[in-house]
Structure 1
Amino acid sequence: MDAAPAYIDDFARFISASPSSYHAAAEVARRLEAHGFTRLSESEPWTAEPGGRFVVRDGAVVAWLQPVGAGPTTPFRVLGAHTDSPGFKLAPKPTIGSHGWLQAGVEVYGGPLLNSWLDRELELAGRLVTRDGTEHLVRTGPFLRIPQLAVHLDREVNNGLVLDRQRHLNPVFGVGDVAQADLVAHLAGLAGVAAADVAGYDILTADTAPPARFGLDNALFAAGRMDNLSAVHAGLCALIAAASAPDIVDSNISVLAAFDHEELGSQSRSGASGPLLDDILTRIAAGLGASVAQRLQAYAESWCLSADAGHAVHPNYPERHDPANMPILGGGPLLKINANQRYATDAVGAALWARTCQQAGVDYQEFVSNNTVPCGSTIGPLTATRLGIRTVDVGVALLSMHSARELCHVNDPAALSSAIRAFFSPAA
């Protein structure tokens, strides 16, 4: 794809600007505002004029493009994704340590591939909340490291590494007297607020190694948090492209729903199991004069693409994949299928995805799990269950999913974004 190099460079910048879900939401908001979208407050009335709008709720963003001529039964085309990624979250009383070391007390966040976080320079990133309720984004840059035990002190380590989540994963950030160190004060200083004013925080770890292209023809791309910033960025670019069309006259209301807390099960006010998307769609429909019955009519003709990362075939572990369905890097975005509805795709959705990719001029490949390997899930079944909107699960193929540093092909994220653009504006 001719556009892939420029796209992947922009994707790398997006990842670098998004070390936490809160930073990702802020970066989405910044880019939307730069392209003429208006930020709305959930606590204030909304107008119903055509154009681009968005709402930020904690680490989540919902943005939409309302076309000229939208009415009470105009359906929605929703791209669902999530802003959070597995890692570690700063615990209460975060400054710990012993034997001369200063360490950060952390809880495991989601399901990270634990060994991949060892011996990397990590940063802390997220939000501080002062006593007056004001949120302050903060990031440290390289600051922490989870040190692995040397092989000389564990001669059997290469026969099986076992990490105790409580004892072995607290990162070091310096040496000295724990009583004289204060991580929260350090973060407060970076944010420009007084430590005594900090009343709460949501601070997570992120790998600080920059995204990189490498390999033959620079066709491979490695970075942290591609699960699921790959879909957030793809949806954002597609929505901005739709808004940049000369005349925004369409048969659908295009929506980007980037939720938080998917890696924890989505059960939060900013997660896909919460009311966020339903709240926004209800208010949009109400602004268009829709009755409850008309809003349900709109839902009946609506679609959601649940875009999240999927597994490419691993060359060293091919037996872990379905023998007849082995997606490859560079083969195009995935159509994710599961007989037990861990993914929401059905035959009607598969047909929609085929039409969408044909319109976009991109290839796609099917993904299904090996029957002996439990299948993960996405926001897709949650959205379908909450709203009754037909939902299709898709995404970019990765190696090393949930690693501190994941791997994809440079062409696949751009292809996903092209398909989402076609999804937002389907051919007649």
Structure 2
Amino acid sequence: MDEDLFVVSDEKPFLAGDKGEFLVSPRLDDLASAFAAAEAVINAPADGLSVCFLADNEEVGSSTKQGAGGTFLKSTLKRIACSLGMDFDAALASSFMVSADNAHAVHPNHPEKSDPTNSVILGEGVVVKHHANQNYTTDAVSSAVIKQIAEKAGVKTQDFFMRSDLRCGSTLGAISSTQVSVKSVDVGIAQLAMHSAVETVAASDLDAAVKLFEGFFKAKIQFPEDGRIILK
């Protein structure tokens, strides 16, 4: 017998702020997005194929058998498509993915770490994440799609751009695209103190993420051969 040893914080989540508007907890990155996605897929319509992929090992490179860089997602989707008599490649071509990973809000003690013209604020809605070097999967088209879905769902959005002179982490969307290439957008919940023992988000943003993901699963996104994207 052998063991894996994990040392984790046992701090219990709690609400903070004058009106309890902040959720403070360990591992909000990225359990908050995982929770929102799982809540949304439970209520997804039964007339389509909705997938919620919660990958392991995201913070240590994702290149494990159960990580986003492995073949688990691709092989699982292939088996699902085969069992339903679907053409796998055609199904991917008509699919759309939301990659959800928390985003850095402007920290009041270190505002210089954020882009001065694109401030992400707690409680101001779900963040759409952009990166010129493609560390995030968002492009102009996918950003427009998710913002239309958000508008229909009554969810506010804000845009995150990493400072161009600072390094930026990647997300599971970009990593999984090496195995499963689909149209995709990166979004997240704004937070403070990412990767610290205890992190902070706005409780309203977590609710907004659930609403956005529910709206996404309910949306009908079509890809006609003329290159347009039709959202219903």
Give the structure-1-normalised TM-score. 0.51
In 2, the alpha carbon distance for the partners of 1:260 and 1:365 equals 27
Match of 1:406 in 2: 199
* Residue 216 of structure 1 pairs with residue 18 of structure 2: yes
Cα deviation 1:21-65 (Å, max 9, x = unaligned): xxxxxxxxxxxxxxxxxxxxxxxxxxxxxxxxxxxxxxxxxxxxx
CA distance in 2, matches of 1:206, 1:390: 35
- What residue number does 1:376 align with? 169
Gaps of 5+ in 2: 221-231
Contact 2:69 2:178 in 1 (8 A): no
TM-score normalised by the chain length of structure 2: 0.92
Q: Unaligned regions of 5+ residues in structure 1, if any?
A: 1-198
SS in 1 for 2:7: strand
Cα separation, 2, equivalents of 1:387 and 1:221:
34
- Cα deviation, residue 404, structure 1: 0.5
Say which structure, 1 or 2, has more relative contact order (CA 8 Å, 6+ apart).
Answer: 2
- 1:288 equivalent to 2:84? Answer yes
Instruction: Determine if the alignment matches structure 1 residue 345 to structure 2 residue 121.
Output: no
Q: Which residue of 2 aligns with 1:356?
A: 149
- 1:367 aligned residue (160, 185, 191): 160
Give the 3-state SS of the residue equivalent to 1:319 in structure 2.
helix
Q: Which residue in 1 is equivalent to 2:218?
A: 425
Q: What is the deviation of 1:201?
A: 2.0
1 CA distance for matches of 2:12 and 2:143? 36
CA distance in 2, matches of 1:234, 1:364: 16
Cα offset for 1:394?
0.5
Q: How many Å separate the matches in 2 of 1:222 and 1:209?
A: 9
Secondary structure of the structure 1 residue equivalent to 2:134: coil
Deviations 1:329-378 (CA, angstroms, capped at 9, x unpaired): 00011100000001111111101111110121100100011122211111
Contact 1:383–1:391 under 8 Å retained in 2: no
Write the deviation string for residues 154-208 of structure 1: whole angstroms up to 9, x where unpaired: xxxxxxxxxxxxxxxxxxxxxxxxxxxxxxxxxxxxxxxxxxxxx1222312211
Identify the residue that residue 118 of structure 2 maps to in structure 1: 325
* Total equivalences in the alignment: 221
Report what 1:308 is aligned to.
101
Cα deviation 1:300-334 (Å, max 9, x = unaligned)? 11011110011000111111110110110000111
Q: Distance in 1 between matches of 2:175 and 2:107?
A: 29
1:412 is displaced (CA, Å) by 0.5
Ranges of 4+ aligned residues in structure 1 off by more than 3 Å? none
CA-CA distance at 1:392 after TM superposition: 0.8
- Cα deviation, 1:229-279, whole Å, max 9, x if unaligned, reads 01110011001122xx6xx22xx3111100001101100000000011111
Identity of aligned residues (%): 38
Give the RMSD, CA atoms, in angstroms.
1.1
Give the Cα separation in 1 of the matches to 2:29 and 2:62. 15
**1:226 to 2:28 alignment:** yes
Q: Give 1:386 shift.
A: 1.6
CA contact (8 A) 2:124 2:158 kept: yes
One-letter amino acid matched to 2:64: S
Secondary structure of the 1:256 match is coil
2:194 alignment partner, SS class: coil
Separation in structure 2 between the aligned mates of residue 201 and residue 343 of structure 1, nearest angstrom: 35
Amino acid at match of 1:224: P
Bigger strand fraction: 1
State yes or no: 1:270 paired with 2:66: yes
Residue in structure 2 matched with residue 75 of structure 1 by the alignment = none
Contact 1:384 1:390 in 2 (8 A): no
CA distance in 2, matches of 1:420, 1:202: 34
Q: Secondary structure at the match of 1:222?
A: strand
Aligned to 2:128: 335
C-alpha deviation, 1:224, in angstroms: 0.2
Distance between the aligned counterparts of 1:262 and 1:228, measured in 2? Answer: 9
Q: Could you tell me whether the CA contact under 8 Å between 1:222 and 1:408 is conserved in 2?
A: yes
How far apart are the structure 2 equivalents of 1:205 and 1:396? Answer: 25
Structure 1 residues 9-28: aligned runs within 5 Å:
none
